[in-house]
Structure 1
């Protein structure tokens, strides 16, 4: 079970290239063509996925800059002025959004990994030389967090078909909204 889309895409591309495509009847040109197109699309997705967020932020920044110029240059009657006011409001909201997006998904993932390491180190040290009284509390905290994370992991991978009772796992959107 792998949750990172980049690794999932690589695994699917490899399986399609190494196993599925060679197994297609060589006389079935359409199936071979569609297999190659599918592999190509997955390869494109694998290339675009890591930069999609940055791409969107870049576009948003350029739209904000363009909106500022347009709002300054636009002259006209009540309709134009109302549109300028609406554009200024939308630009203000977009600017706040862009400011909030300064951390990239890669930054968040790196911090998740760093916090996992620091958390693991603390847990190891508490059980090595920590006060015995705090050890059960540390264990309870870690187990509670792990239980919640495992539930989210299982929900995220639900479509892979590993769950014996899929209906027992809440939808990911519901878990993330908590």
Structure 2
């Protein structure tokens, strides 16, 4: 039995392509379509699996920078300072996770989720207490982060074939920072 996911995926693709798909009734268009979709998704997984950890580390590094900028730009009444301190503390922990050579993919993924959550809390707590200029700065920061993440997400999913102009997107490998220690 093969334990490596890359080899397992290639085996599934081969079995589905060479054994299952030819055996599916040609008149059953839904079964043919679903088999091809499954093969396509497995091909996508095979392409993405080697990059998944780098993808997550890249997102964590970007969220760390976003969190630092967010802490600098937010101000407000009660609760804002506590939320900012909590995000700063979460950022310190996330930076440690990213820097540790022993940090595994699940730790990076967990730190990404926590920074997303804490960033949302800080924005929610501080937004109503901030003046319009401060709200605008935070909104621009959020939009810039979202734009960069959306570009990475679209490039990550490019092999699925949904993009109307695939050549307009850079390859995912060009969008990933080298953040792995």
- TM > 0.5: yes
2:91 corresponds in structure 1 to 91
1:78 aligns with 2:78: yes
1:24 corresponds in structure 2 to 24
* Residues 85-131 of structure 1, C-alpha deviations (whole Å, 9 max, x = no match): 011000001001001147788xxxxxxxxxxxxxxxxxxxxxxxxxx
1:13 corresponds in structure 2 to 13
Task: Tell me which stretches of 4 or more aligned residues in structure 1 moved more than 4 Å.
Answer: 101-105
Aligned-pair CA distance for 1:73:
1.3
- Partners of 2:72 and 2:101 lie apart in 1 by 26
Structure 1 regions of 5+ residues with no counterpart?
106-178
Task: Say which one has the larger Rg.
Answer: 1
1:100 corresponds in structure 2 to 100
Q: Quick check: 2:97–2:103 contact (8 Å CA) kept in 1?
A: no
1:65 corresponds in structure 2 to 65
2:133 corresponds in structure 1 to none
1:36 corresponds in structure 2 to 36
Equivalent position SS for 2:79: helix
Q: Quick check: 2:10–2:46 contact (8 Å CA) kept in 1?
A: yes
Greater RCO between the two (CA within 8 Å, min separation 6)?
Answer: 2
Q: Quick check: 1:9–1:42 contact (8 Å CA) kept in 2?
A: yes
- Partners of 1:63 and 1:82 lie apart in 2 by 19
TM-score w.r.t. structure 1 length? 0.56
